[in-house]
Structure 1
Amino acid sequence: MLDEHDHRAIGQRLDLFHLQEEAPGMVFWHPRGFRLYQLLEDQVRQRMRREGYQEVRTPQILSQELWERSGHWDNFRQNMFVLGDGERQLAVKPVSCPGHIELVQRMSPSYRDLPLRLGEFGLVHRSEPSGALHGLFRLRQFTQDDGHIFCAEEQVEREVIAFVRALHAFYAGFGFEHVEVAFSGRPPSRAGSDAVWDQAEAWLQSAARAAGLECRMQPGEGAFYGPKLEFILKDRLGRDWQCGTIQLDLVLPERFDLRYTDASGAKRHPVMLHRALFGSLERFIAILLEHHAGALPAWLSPEQVVVASVGDKALHYAEKLSERLREAGCRASADVRGESLSRKILDAHQSGLPYIAVVGAREAEANSVRLRLRDGSQQDLSWDDAVARLAAECQPRRAS
């Protein structure tokens, strides 16, 4: 029996998603849950557009040769789904990095094109042991908000500062006010020489200082290709969750012999920065659900308003009001079932709706609405005032 505060129980109550044995470690998203998923995508896309990222899509399955070149075959193979293709082997991608490198190879950039920023909602698969799977927290199939910045050495500091500048405000918009930063250094098993790692760590530490970050040190916790900054959120229960990250990579550009043409005409390896805001969209949804106990902020609620009719004379009025609210940008529906008002209110609360607009014969005659909030408070408003207020309070959030 799941605890009521477990995100899996909340997901069932809000009708967001389900998991089943026939698809271990993978999610069936219901319409309401997929709307929440898309709202998170929208937040990342807003930032990508503002920061000059180009969104791309790369293949799900790539050859062993490419994974050997990236180092994943030697350092990450136990977490990859491998399949045969005649005499050669392929693997379902656990990350999007090599695909983005292949795209940049085709672009043949010069120094004028840098920094070059690519972003992808990368659907990835990892061969996690069945005993390690845990709801949305640990899956075999999930989506990373994957971004890669290809830049010159002298651009690293500016790019790291730009990434972290609005990060606190971004997370605060989801209700996370407390953010810590950790610096994860070279792991025991890694690619690249000590000299390369010395340089990568020095550059990232310098950029972190320039960004005004105070980092706790996590020796040995970096990726096999480079050190990283990890951004850790604290939820309402005091638990820490590592979400965002930016990683400095000098290894993969060298292994792929990725080069750009500098101002003198010479060919140089770019610095590759791997960045993510959520890390895994699925995992972030689990954190959100538990942090808010299912009562998501109005802008983030998959359904924001239900118009509950009282009596047969208000059915048409309820339908008209829900239609008008949708036109005004609210995610609204009408509950015109032949149930009691108390039943409709209970169902709306169980579904996590922030607003209930109650309309009966009296409201229909007066062209008014009784607006009920999550805390049980109520207010009588005119049709126009109710629509204006709900449209304002339910409007999409502009990503910081």
Structure 2
Amino acid sequence: METGSKNRRRSAPMVPVDREDPTYGLRHSAAHVMAQAVTEMFPEAKLGWGPPHDRFENGFYYDFDLPSPLTPEDLPEIEGRMRRIVREDHPFRRRVLSADEARELFEDQPYKLQTIEDLAEGKDEYGEARPGAVISTYGQDTFEDLCLGPHLERTGQIPPDGFKLLDVSGAYWRGSGENPMLQRVHGTVWPGKEELERYLCRREEEEKRDHRRLGAELDLFSIRPEVGPGLALFHPKGALVRVLMEDYWRERHRAGGYDFVFTPHVGRSGLWETSGHLKWYAEGMYPAIGVEDERYYLKPMNCPFHMLIFNSRPRSYRDLPLRFAELGTVYRYEPSGTLRGLLRVRGFTQDDAHLFCRPDQMYQEIDRVLGFCLSFLAAYGFEEPEMELSVHDPGMPEKYAGSEADWEVAESTLAAALEARGLPYRRVEGEAVFYGPKIDIGILDTLGRRWQASTIQFDFNLPERFDLTYAGEDNKPHRPYMVHRALYGSIERFFALLIEHHAGALPVWLAPTQATVIPVSDRNLDYAREVSDELATAGLRAEVDARPERMNAKIRDAQLQKVPYMLVVGDREEEARGVSVRLRTNEDRGMTDLSSFVSHIQEIVEAKTGL
């Protein structure tokens, strides 16, 4: 499944938001004011570009080539200069220039000169064809920048207490590792102080929940420079969580009528030529591996292998539907500037499934897989999904594989399945990928952030490319309908989502350690081990903290490790064959019978609820 492949531009910067966004002019103007402030500090600065963007809410950035590195300690000075420029209330001035005039104006700005050449050749600032592109600038005070706009009318319309610079990072010019590394300053701007403070409080909470920080603190995973960027190592605790996620996935698929398949990590170049990946997706693939005078590629998707399994023998209409499922690790070259913990990596495991069916089975299969996705996500506590239906642009049929009739049937089937379940959805015209329409299921985390989760995607392209057929009742070959489907999307990304959603305090059924048994003194150590053994016999995960530390310190350490239950055992508990239960929320539930506690936690694990 080509998750995340749409609109890839490795040669472009972080893609900005829609220019029609009502906040665009404010954010864009703040970026220019920031650029003026930085050039006041560094007159020899070489300017990249500075659009609004969506890494931070209401965000903007600017890229600079500077004689010395910026640090977070420099940001207050830049902010102070920005506030002065805002108070001076300079008008934003637009000019339209010829290419020669622009070259003269920016003669000492090499990055601007590159952009001017693109514009002169009929391309926009992202290298996309834009015939008749206008070369324009916007200026305020002593600063003038190559820019398409729009902007506010005056700098004074930027609230002086409504913006904040957030961080400094590195970014390759135009996103390519072959280009110079620039310094990127990120900021956010809001209508006023109150909105900014609310955002900063929310961002502080997001930073506390950052899966990269919690992944290190809880010893779940790491990304080591010795291995390479975007390639994760799962430590024992994190690997255990992952195994639990994968086991649940397998359990549900076995019950759901899927067949498991396994496919290699590499394939011959001819496979990727047939699938079209070498033509359309080569920039996202790792370079070829030479083996016995042939070229092999690490797989960026599992799909072509599943096509070959379907074609491995003749298929009859009686064989359908077929449902192939695989936890397949794929490899994609992502620019280093886009990598972010487990959310964007270069090697990840997709929980792919491909459904092959007859036309008369299509609605039932779509309804079935939609219900499967919803119930699966509900087991993780996500019961109010946000649905999007991405459809084609009927005015541009040349952009899409398959016939107009195929698209109409597929889109109406997806819409009917959503409507039959009473699911509100947003219909997005022109957002379908070229090979078929799709349903995207978004989920909201504790902080109200939307995450892309499951996808149900028609594909008119691969069945044609691989010439998939089945023998119909008329004994003639027919093309099956095929649907891609992912539940987690990728194991790594969903793992990161769970960590941030739960702030590391995973539900009991997923917690790597479900209970820590804490003896009050050394003489209670044998009983603590008995308690741990009884929990293990019941299929639960427990450990004994036998360190020579104070009991309260052990409780605190277990809480910091997000262990759901701390079971304190002393003389009184040993005599009664009980445990005193503390929760990671610091609630003290007092003493209870050991067998009752075991039954209680088993019920919670079985129901996948609680804590």
Same topology, TM > 0.5:
yes
Map of 2:603 onto structure 1: 392
Structure 2 residue aligned with 1:312: 522
Q: What's the offset of the Cα at 1:156?
A: 1.1
Q: After the TM superposition, which residues 8-23 of structure 1 pair with which residues of structure 2 at under 5 Å, given as runs?
A: 8-22=212-226, 23=228
Tell me the CA shift for residue 150 of structure 1: 0.6
Q: Secondary structure at the match of 1:3?
A: helix
Q: Equivalent residues in 2 for 1:156-235 (5 A)?
A: 156-186=362-392, 192-193=401-402, 195=404, 196-235=406-445
Name the SS of the counterpart of 2:297 in structure 1. strand
Q: CA deviation at 1:384?
A: 2.1
Instruction: Evaluate the alpha carbon distance shift between residue 31 and residue 190 of structure 1 in structure 2; reply closer, same or farther with a 3 A threshold.
Output: farther
Cα 1:59–1:251 shift into 2, 3 Å:
same
Give me the whole-angstrom Cα distance separating, in 1, the residues matched to 2:594 and 2:256: 40
The alpha-carbon distance between structure 1 residues 396 and 329, as it changes in their structure 2 partners (threshold 3 A), is: farther
Confirm whether residue 378 of structure 1 aligns to residue 581 of structure 2: no
Matched, 1:143 2:354: no
Q: Please say if residues 558 and 584 of structure 2, whose CA atoms lie closer than 8 Å, have aligned partners that are also in contact.
A: no
* Larger RCO (CA under 8 A, 6+ residues apart): 1
Q: Which amino acid aligns with 1:144?
A: Q
Superimposed CA distance per residue, residues 341-383 of structure 1 (whole angstroms, 9 cap, x where no aligned partner): 1111111111111111101122222322111122322221122
Q: 2:286·2:333 contact (CA, 8 Å) conserved in 1?
A: yes
Residue 94 of structure 1 deviates from its aligned partner by: 0.9
Q: Secondary structure at the match of 1:158?
A: helix
Alignment of 1:41-120 (within 5 A): 41-85=246-290, 87-120=293-326
Q: Does the CA-based 8 Å contact 2:323-2:354 persist in structure 1?
A: yes
Structure 2 SS opposite 1:103? helix
Shift of residue 210, structure 1, vs aligned partner? 4.1
Quick one: which amino acid aligns to residue 5 of structure 1?
Answer: R
Aligned to 1:249: 459
**Number of the residue aligned with 1:322:** 532
Describe how 1:219-298 pairs up with structure 2 within 5 A.
219-298=429-508
Match of 1:36 among 241, 249, 263: 241
Distance 1:259 1:207 in 2: 26
Q: Which runs of 5+ in 2 are unaligned?
A: 1-166, 168-205
TM-score, normalised via structure 1 length: 0.94
Q: Give the Cα separation in 2 of the matches to 1:36 and 1:155.
A: 36
Kindly indicate whether the alpha-carbon contact (under 8 Å) linking 1:226 and 1:250 is maintained by their aligned counterparts in 2: yes
Amino acid at match of 1:318: A
Structure 1 residue aligned with 2:14: none
3-state SS of paired residue (2:328): strand
Deviation at 1:161, TM superposition (A): 0.5
Give the structure 1 partner of residue 550 of structure 2: 340
**Inter-partner Cα distance in structure 2 for 1:70 and 1:202:** 27
Matched, 1:357 2:563: no
Aligned to 2:453, the other structure's residue is in SS state strand
**Which residue in 1 is equivalent to 2:210?**
6
For residue 295 of structure 1, give the secondary structure of its aligned residue in structure 2. coil
Contact 1:305 1:331 in 2 (8 A): yes
Q: Distance in 1 between matches of 2:432 and 2:285?
A: 19
Contact 1:304 1:394 in 2 (8 A): no
Q: Secondary structure at the match of 2:426?
A: strand
Identical pairs, percent = 42
Whole-Å separation in 2 of the counterparts to 1:65 and 1:200: 30
- TM (norm. structure 2) is 0.62
1:38 Cα deviation (Å)? 1.2
1:293 CA displacement: 0.8
Counterpart code for 2:490: S
CA distance in structure 1 between the aligned counterparts of 2:265 and 2:459, rounded to whole angstroms: 22
SS in 2 for 1:106: coil
Structure 1 residue 206: deviation in Å?
4.1
Q: Which runs of 5+ in 1 are unaligned?
A: none
> Per-residue deviation at 1:214?
2.9
Deviations 1:34-57 (A, max 9, x none): 111111112221221111101110
Question: Which of the two has higher C-alpha Rg?
Answer: 2
Q: Distance in 2 between matches of 1:155 and 1:149?
A: 11
Residue aligning to 1:121: 327
* SS of aligned partner of 1:372: strand
Deviation at residue 199 of structure 1 after TM alignment: 4.7
Q: In 2 relative to 1, CA 210–254 (structure 1 residues): closer, same or farther, beyond 3 Å?
A: farther
Confirm or deny: 8 A CA contact 1:111 1:263 kept in the other structure: yes
| SS at structure 2 position matched to 1:82 | coil
Which residue identity is paired with 2:352?
D
SS at match of 1:176: coil
Q: By how many angstroms is 1:186 displaced? A: 3.8
Residue 301 to residue 130, structure 1, CA distance change in 2 (3 Å):
same
Cα distance change of structure 1 residues 93 and 378 upon mapping to structure 2, 3 Å threshold: same
How far apart are 1:299 and its partner, in Å?
1.2
1:19–1:26 Cα contact (<8 Å) kept: yes
- 8 Å CA contact retained: 1:164, 1:211: no
Verify the 8 A CA contact 1:318 1:334 in the aligned structure 2. Answer: yes
The letter for the 2-side match of 1:394 is V
